[in-house]
Amino acid sequence: MNSQEETNFGRVASAIHYINTNFKTQPGLDEIAEKVNLSPFHFQRLFTDWAGVSPKKFLQYLTIAHAKKMLKDSQATLFDTAFESGLSGTGRLHDLFINIEGMTPGEYKNGGEQLHINYSFADTLFGRALIASTSKGICYIALNEDENAEFGSLKAKFPRAQYQQETDTFQQEVLQLFVQHWSQPQQLKLHLKGTDFQLKVWESLLKIPLGRLSTYGSIAGSIGLPSASRAVGTAVGANPVAFLIPCHRVIQSTGIFGQYRWGSIRKQAMIGWEAAQLENNH
| CA distance between the termini of the chain | 50
Phi and psi torsions of 216, nearest 5°: -60, -40
Has 139 been annotated as catalytic?
A: no
Residue 58, H or E segment: helix 55-73
List the catalytic residue out of 53, 232, 247, 270.
247
Q: Specify the 3-state DSSP secondary structure of 126.
A: coil
**What's the CA gap between 162 and 170, in Å, rounded?**
17
Q: Which residues pair with 141 in a beta bridge?
A: 131, 241
In this structure, are residues 185 and 206 in contact, taking their beta carbons and an 8 Å threshold? Answer: yes
Phi and psi torsions of 250, nearest 5°: -105, 125
In the chain, what are the helix, strand and coil shares in percent, each to the nearest 5?
A: 55, 10, 35
DSSP 8-state assignment for residue 190: B
**What's the CA gap between 3 and 246, in Å, rounded?**
42
What residues contact residue 19 under an 8 Å CB cut-off, 6+ apart? 27, 32, 55, 58, 59, 62
Taking alpha carbons only, the member of 278, 140, 267, 269 closest to residue 209 is 278
- Catalytic amino acids? 247
